[in-house]
Amino acid sequence: MKKPTLFFFLSFLFFIEKTNAQCAMCRAVLETAEGQTAAEGINDGIVYLMAVPYILIAGIGYFIYKKYNTLKK
């Protein structure tokens, strides 16, 4: 694995831990509710839904990159 790729991968793993993805309306409604379990569940769901398209685009980009490099050789 190349060093820039390794650096990007490791930094991504460290920064994903602290992600809060609630919009202002969701945050206002969930802060008034008693208990924070619903807020944590909503936040986790938002992060999950946000991550899936990025993972798909990264996978497609990787396959295009591999295909381009194998055709070049």
Collapse the DSSP code of 55 into the 3-class scheme (helix H, G, I; strand E, B; otherwise coil) and give the result.
helix
The mean pLDDT of the chain is: 75
Cβ atoms 54, 60 nearer than 8 A? no
Cβ atoms 46, 22 nearer than 8 A? yes
Please give the torsion angle defined by the CA atoms of residues 30, 34, 39 and 40, in that order, rounded to the nearest 10 degrees: 170
Task: Select from 17, 11, 12 the least CA-distant residue to 47.
Answer: 17
Would you list the domain boundaries of the chain?
14-72
pLDDT in tens, 49-63: 888 889 999 999 999
What pLDDT shows up at residue 23? 67
Question: Average of pLDDT values for 18-43?
Answer: 68
| Whether pTM exceeds 0.75 | no
